[in-house]
Amino acid sequence: MKKLISKKKPFYPISNILKQYLIEFNRWMEIPISYDDLLRFQGSVVVYDEKDNDTLWSRVYYSDSDLKEIDYSLKQLYTILHSDGNESTLSYLNIDAIDYCTFGNSKPFRVKVRNILNDNFTYFYIKKTDSSRVFGLEFEHMLSPYNLNFLVNDSTLIEEHVAGIPGDVFIKEMLPKCSESEQSQIAKEYVKFNERCMVRLLGDMRAYNYVIVPIHDFDQVIYRIRAIDFDQQSFEGRFSVYRPQFFKENQPLIKMIQKKLTHDSIDQYKIEERSIVAKRIISNEEKIDQLLASMKESSITIDENLNKLKIEIYKFTNDKAFKESKSMGDIMEASLAFLKRNYKNIKPISFLRN
């Protein structure tokens, strides 16, 4: 299978119009610590999992002079992200670990925060600001079943942790152990996830960029699929990048879908997902319009990708709005308008089409 993504995506700054949007909807914050501050670590050690495999994360440590300030600022940041910023709870918090990942494009820091009163812990992530990632987070928040909590300023992006089993781990270790009914349910969810990524142009959903979330429901376990990386929102020029089914890492799931679902069932689930997303567009219409306006004025790709993508989607839809697009914001607007306009009568693109 030909490699879908060949070039590293650059980081794009926040435009003034996007900044105003983020301020209006309480995403923009003066954050007490920056991504660059955390780069001042003195050394690191490799983090291994319970099977002694390299996790691709490194645990970093700081000089005594830097550690006190960093520790305090991270606690402040946790309270801003998850509460009202009240510092009365800081004495109950402990920063257990700061990990750094050089794998992938964003090179995030992962911060583990523990409540010393009950030993409950959670994580959050600190990354460099990138406007395409911000657009991805906002669209996920409004168009998926899941809300997202994040903060951003000109230099630093803070994201809450999305709990779940990494897709690559699930496929390798857990999928073969799932019952027949569980496999059918996962197949259904993956079809919907694939459709959702395609219509809102979220790319690069390889298995390690989403998580599987098992939920106990009466006498059964159901599974949900959540994206956890939004770096490739509306950047790439190949339409197939926005369709997770084409990544080789996801092929075990695709083979399972071919085995467990009929073409009619696949079309049914695709139509269901498009209908749900269309209803979310309608219920968030004013806010989405503002976000699209800022996206049109933001640079989040290169001309080569823009021109290639708009022609590829035009060939799939025959909608001239794609062909006439002058920005990724225009393409995104055309995609959502096409979905909203046609979701009740649309004939789905075949899930198995090359």
Q: Is the pLDDT of residue 193 over 90?
A: yes
What's the token pair of residue 122? 């959670």
Separation of alpha carbons 175 and 252, rounded Å:
9
**Domain segments of the chain: what residues?**
16-160, 165-342
Confidence of residue 353 (pLDDT cuts 50, 70, 90): very low
Between 138 and 85, residue with greater pLDDT: 138
What are the pLDDT digits (tens) for 279-333? 999 999 999 999 999 999 999 999 999 999 999 999 999 999 999 999 999 999 9
Listed residue (235, 119, 343, 167) closest to 335, CA to CA = 343
Separation of alpha carbons 109 and 96, rounded Å:
13
Separation of alpha carbons 196 and 274, rounded Å:
7
C-beta neighbour count of 261 within 10 angstroms: 20
pLDDT at 293: 97
Separation of alpha carbons 181 and 59, rounded Å:
40
Separation of alpha carbons 55 and 34, rounded Å:
24
Separation of alpha carbons 247 and 206, rounded Å:
6
Average pLDDT over residues 38-61: 93
What's the token pair of residue 273? 């997902």
Confidence of residue 95 (pLDDT cuts 50, 70, 90): very high
Q: Is the pLDDT of residue 214 over 60?
A: yes
- Quote the distance between the C-alpha of residue 137 and its chain's center: 6
Listed residue (14, 229, 22, 15) closest to 106, CA to CA = 229
Average pLDDT over residues 266-283: 94
Q: Where are the alpha helices (DSSP H) in the chain?
A: 16-24, 35-38, 64-82, 131-143, 167-169, 180-199, 251-260, 263-283, 285-296, 303-317, 320-323, 328-342
Q: Can you give the pTM of this predicted structure? A: 0.93
pLDDT at 325: 97
φ, ψ for residue 55, nearest 5 deg: -85, -5
Listed residue (246, 249, 248) closest to 171, CA to CA = 249
What's the token pair of residue 42? 């003195």
Secondary structure of residue 5 in the 3-state scheme: coil
